[in-house]
Amino acid sequence: MLTVHHLNNSRSQRVLWLLEELGVDYEIVRYQRQPDMRAPKELRDIHPLGKSPVITDNGNTIAESGAVCEYIIGTYGNGRLIPPPNTPERLRYTYWLHYAEGSAMSPLLLKLLFTLMPKRTPALLRPLVRKVSNQALTTLVNPQLKQHMDYWEAELGKSEWFAGSEFTGADIQMSFPLEAAAARAGLEQGHPSAMAFLERIHSRPAYARALEKGGPYVIGR
């Protein structure tokens, strides 16, 4: 049986959601974040990098969200959650599936990093670190985030879902960047189509079932 090595409050929540959408039987092995928010060392016994999501299935160990999504849909989807080959929708699907981690998450991670740095710096250095962090956020990170959020808004203004008129695995992949942007980057300001996308995914029964099985997921709710 497929096993999800699930780190609480992490990207692996998307894997549970995908499996619920497809109705695939699976089991969960749970891992709790350490006080510093890192994954526990036990995950390195599954994959050398000790990151989540990771799944094991039929002797295979698959890491990286996009690769996991492709594997599950290719192995268990039977044509579901993926547009037909050689269509514009399939091209969009492939793009958004990889854009989610390849481009969208970088400025969001920088936003988190530069926001946390002053809080975790010794008091004597805190004013300097706060000044540097604020400068980086103002001149580099926030403008990039606005560009990405405006891009999502424009694309979701063209179609209900990222790959077209049908819900696909690309929407599951893109859920994490949009949820992160809503939590820490002000997505709700001037991006009604993107916020409507979040409302649609949060209302899906499979999303709710995945939350019940995965446990607390602060970034998404």
Whether this prediction's pTM lies above 0.85 is answered by: yes
pLDDT tens track for 45-89:
999 988 889 999 999 999 999 999 999 999 999 999 999 999 999
Cα 119 from Cα 20, distance rounded (Å): 38
Place 24 in a pLDDT band, splitting at 50, 70 and 90. Answer: very high
pLDDT in tens, 131-162: 999 999 999 999 999 999 999 999 999 999 99
All structural domains of the chain, each given as residue ranges with its CATH number in brackets, are 3-81+207-214 (3.40.30.10), 88-204 (1.20.1050.10)
**pLDDT tens-digit series, residues 164-190:** 999 999 999 999 999 999 999 999 999
The per-residue pLDDT for 147 is 98
On the question of pLDDT at 217 being above 80, the answer is no
Q: Which two tokens stand for residue 216?
A: 């607390």
Structure tokens belonging to residue 3: 């096993």
The predicted pLDDT at position 221 comes to: 43
The answer to whether 19 and 72 are in contact (CB under 8 A) is yes
